[in-house]
Amino acid sequence: MDRDERGGISAEHAAFMTHMRWYMRYIAVALSISMLAALLAAVLTWRIYQDRLEPAVQDMQTALQDVKALTAQTSALLEEAKQTMVEVRKAASAAAPVLQEAQETMQAVEQTTGRVERAAAPFELLQLIPVVNWFF
């Protein structure tokens, strides 16, 4: 190869290298722009999260804490109700003999009242006579 051919190849090589540099610059700029676009998208997503989603998430967390507190209160009330039922059962079992005696007494009173009403029936007939009413 003579010098002209080397010069021609060198000129072609130089032109190729120049074009490659331009292509590399274009690729670098395109990558930079895409990175900036990705960064802007991330920032925009973060802003949307802070402005709209974060308050909703905080409200949901507050509601969850309220539910947990109400669950604890309900559990305490349920335990108190169980204790009250135990006390009511004890009182009912202690009052059972007294209630039985009261029922027996009521039956005796009803029987006695029936006898008294039957005995008072003739006097009621006498009260229907106007002259007898003067004496009662």
Grouped pLDDT means (10 residues each) for the chain, 136 residues? 55 90 96 97 91 86 94 94 92 84 85 71 67 60
| 8 A C-beta contact, residue 116 and residue 110 | no
Write down how long the chain is.
136
How many structural domains are present in the chain? 1
pLDDT of residue 24: 96
| DSSP 8-class letter at 50 | I
| DSSP 8-class letter at 128 | T
